[in-house]
Amino acid sequence: MNLLTEPVGVAHFMVVGAIMFACGVVCMAVKRNALGVLMGIELVLNGANINFVALGSKFLQKDGAFSLGLDGQFIALFVIVLAAAEAAVALAITLNFYNNHSTVDVDRANELKG
């Protein structure tokens, strides 16, 4: 089974989602800038969304079972709403940190301990 010679199917979407997820994890681990870490989180969430949609697709239905196949899309929609709320809160915290410390370096965040 070679993914390069087959028609596009669920396995291809799973590979793309896994690559996006891995890139997001690496971005979160490597970046010292708070905005870079936020971009990594968004990559992780979008990689998971691709996998949710792929697993909820009609190509996985077997034995003639009737299903709309919208479970993955509904979960992905929920994750998108969650990501938008997370981005808004995280950007507000980042801007407040920048106003107080003139940097968005996450290594300086240890000053927030009380």
The CATH number given to whatever domain includes residue 96 is: 1.10.287.3510
Let me know if residue 2 belongs to a domain.
Answer: no
Let me know if residue 17 belongs to a domain.
Answer: yes
Provide, rounded to the nearest whole percent, the portion of the chain with pLDDT above 90: 42
Q: Is it the case that residue 3 has pLDDT exceeding 90?
A: no
Is residue 32 helix, strand or coil? coil
Let me know if residue 24 belongs to a domain.
Answer: yes
The pLDDT of residue 113 is 62
Let me know if residue 1 belongs to a domain.
Answer: no
Let me know if residue 91 belongs to a domain.
Answer: yes
In angstroms, rounded to a whole number, what is the distance separating the alpha carbons of residues 59 and 51? 13
Let me know if residue 114 belongs to a domain.
Answer: no
The parent domain of residue 86 ranges over: 10-59+68-107
Q: pTM for this structure?
A: 0.81
Is residue 9 helix, strand or coil? coil
Helix axes 34-55, 10-30, angle to 10 degrees: 160
Let me know if residue 101 belongs to a domain.
Answer: yes
Cβ(31)–Cβ(37) below 8 Å = yes
The pLDDT of residue 100 is 86
pLDDT in tens, 65-100: 655 567 788 889 999 999 999 999 999 988 988 998
Let me know if residue 113 belongs to a domain.
Answer: no
Banded pLDDT at 61 (limits 50, 70, 90):
low
- In the chain, how many domains are there? 1
